[in-house]
Amino acid sequence: MDDTDFPTPDVEVESVSPDGLKERIDAGEDVTLLDTRMGSEYEEWRIDGENVESINIPYFEFLDDEIDDDVLVQIPDDREITVLCAKGGSSEYVAGALKERGYDVNHLEEGMNGWARIYERVEVERYDGAGTLYQYQRPSSGCLGYFLVDGDEAAVIDPLRAFTSRYLEDADDLGVDLQYAIDTHIHADHISGVRSLDAVGAEGVIPEASVDRGVTYAAERSSASPDSQARRDADEMTLAADGDEFEVGDATIETVYTPGHTSGMTSYLIDGELLATGDGLFVESVARPDLEEGDDGAPEAAAQLYESLQERVLTLPDDTLIGGAHFSDAAEPAEDGTFTAPIGQLEAEMDALTMDEDEFVELILSDMPPRPANYEDIIPTNLGQQETDDEEAFELELGPNNCAASQESLAGD
């Protein structure tokens, strides 16, 4: 039965919005969730939190008029229960069945699809550059992006296609023009927003080093101006080479080539204060190296990642903030609510950053999680080799990002 095919319950069921549920979790309230998706979906991707109790009972257990007592005994009757599913259909039906039996229940609007539409903007308070820097956070998948504002200009790094309108709205609210939409690499877990933002007037920027993978929208790189800023004609995409700089008001974004996760992986140093590392380095782990060349090419890519980290990242001042493109459930936010941390702190906490090359390669190849869901469609979509409409693109990227080398935190190990 499709999630939208369930009949309307005979009793009125209250709903909770995804934002409302997120607010309760963030406030530290005790939340009990009944997830009615199939067990395989639940194990792959669910809502977690320190004060969240999550119970998985598939919807089909509630279809009979007489629900088995072995099912009901798993559901607490002394507290409020929020029922959720994929899109909101089965959860409303199950919540109605439970309410008829005296349970205190509501259901999550639009289910996990609604949860995936939460996108928050948090100021990076420790950033002390010329402008103001924000971190975008998508809790459903752990995707992170960056929004730099100074004067009347702005740039976004690692934008998501699903939130194209959000970036434009934020720029409008802040009274700035969105000058640049910049990607760190060819993403495997979500559909990039660089093309869509370029189409509405922002200057789309991709790493020059990623062109060899067959990016169809990449034009010949134009000559850099005296200030080393890459430019493009109106119908071309800008290619960022190592050392290129992009001016946003009085702030500067410098291109730093850091291959390893992919051959084109590129970081961006924002005013010398924060290095947006894409999928190279996270606050709790390092990148996985197998998404471009597969298992056979992973050892070589891991060695390349080691070199990038040692020679291009860890050589920066210890107080330089690291901001990756993802965070996992193992990550702890900083005091300002962002998933950022100084390089010196990460080097002290993460043994992987102080190992020799052989140890490093062995470690990150030893415990890689499953590859991102639908990565075999997401990568060619981001390369421009296949077309995907907005709805299909949103469906493709549902689920965990799985772009780190380990399912557990490497910090502190």
Binned at pLDDT 50, 70 and 90, residue 28 comes out as very high
How large is the average pLDDT for residues 341-366? Answer: 95
Report in angstroms the alpha-carbon separations of 95 from 83, 197, 297.
6, 40, 48
Q: Which of 236, 231, 228 is nearest to 252 (CA)?
A: 228
Q: Which of 398, 266, 412, 271 is nearest to 352 (CA)?
A: 412
Q: Is the pLDDT of residue 343 over 80?
A: yes
How large is the average pLDDT for residues 165-173? Answer: 97
Q: Is the pLDDT of residue 229 over 50?
A: no
For 120-396, which CATH class?
alpha beta
Rounded CA gap, 21 and 27, in Å? 10
CB atoms within 10 A of CB 122: 17
Percent of the chain residues topping a pLDDT of 70: 92
- Please state whether beta strands 81-84 and 341-342 pair in parallel, antiparallel, or not at all (unpaired): unpaired
Report in angstroms the alpha-carbon separations of 166 from 118, 136, 170.
11, 11, 6
Binned at pLDDT 50, 70 and 90, residue 291 comes out as confident
Q: What are phi and psi of 379, to 5 degrees?
A: -60, -50
| Residue 236 CB-density burial (10 A; 0-12 exposed, 13-18 middle, 19+ buried) | middle
pLDDT at residue 330 in the model: 80
First to last CA, the chain: 45
Q: Using one digit for the tens of pLDDT, what is the confidence trace for 296-336?
A: 999 999 999 999 999 999 999 999 999 999 998 888 899 99
Binned at pLDDT 50, 70 and 90, residue 65 comes out as confident
- Both tokens of 108, joined, read 């999550």
CB atoms within 10 A of CB 173: 9
- Both tokens of 185, joined, read 């690499």
Asked if 219 and 234 count as a contact pair (C-beta separation under 8 A), the reply is no
pLDDT at residue 217 in the model: 61
Q: Which of 14, 13, 16, 15 is nearest to 24 (CA)?
A: 16
- Chain-centroid distance, C-alpha 192: 11
pLDDT at residue 369 in the model: 82
pLDDT at residue 218 in the model: 47
pLDDT at residue 4 in the model: 58
Q: Is the pLDDT of residue 6 over 80?
A: no
Percent of the chain residues topping a pLDDT of 90: 72
Q: Which of 2, 9, 3 is nearest to 85 (CA)?
A: 3
Binned at pLDDT 50, 70 and 90, residue 231 comes out as very low
Q: Is the pLDDT of residue 190 over 70?
A: yes
Which helix H or strand E contains 135, and what residues bound it? strand 132-138
pLDDT at residue 223 in the model: 37
pLDDT at residue 219 in the model: 40
Q: What is the mean pLDDT of the chain?
A: 90
pLDDT at residue 222 in the model: 34
Could you state, in order of their start, the residue ranges of all structural domains in the chain? 15-115, 120-396
Q: Which of 235, 364, 240 is nearest to 295 (CA)?
A: 364
Q: Is the pLDDT of residue 163 over 60?
A: yes
Q: Is the pLDDT of residue 227 over 80?
A: no
Binned at pLDDT 50, 70 and 90, residue 184 comes out as very high
Q: Using one digit for the tens of pLDDT, what is the confidence trace for 96-116?
A: 999 999 999 999 999 999 999
Binned at pLDDT 50, 70 and 90, residue 198 comes out as very high
Rounded CA gap, 157 and 275, in Å? 11
Asked if 54 and 47 count as a contact pair (C-beta separation under 8 A), the reply is yes
Q: What are phi and psi of 271, to 5 degrees?
A: 55, 30
Rounded CA gap, 260 and 288, in Å? 8
Q: Is the pLDDT of residue 345 over 60?
A: yes
pLDDT at residue 7 in the model: 67
Q: Is the pLDDT of residue 234 over 70?
A: no
Please enumerate in sequence order all residues whose Cβ is within 8 A of that of 50, keeping only pairs 6 or more positions apart, or say none: 28
Rounded CA gap, 178 and 205, in Å? 13
Asked if 95 and 83 count as a contact pair (C-beta separation under 8 A), the reply is yes
pLDDT at residue 410 in the model: 77
pLDDT at residue 328 in the model: 85
- Please state whether beta strands 245-248 and 177-182 pair in parallel, antiparallel, or not at all (unpaired): unpaired
Q: Is the pLDDT of residue 232 over 80?
A: no
How large is the average pLDDT for residues 261-286? Answer: 95
**Which fold, 15-115?**
Oxidized Rhodanese; domain 1 (3.40.250)
CB atoms within 10 A of CB 38: 15
- Both tokens of 4, joined, read 């939208």
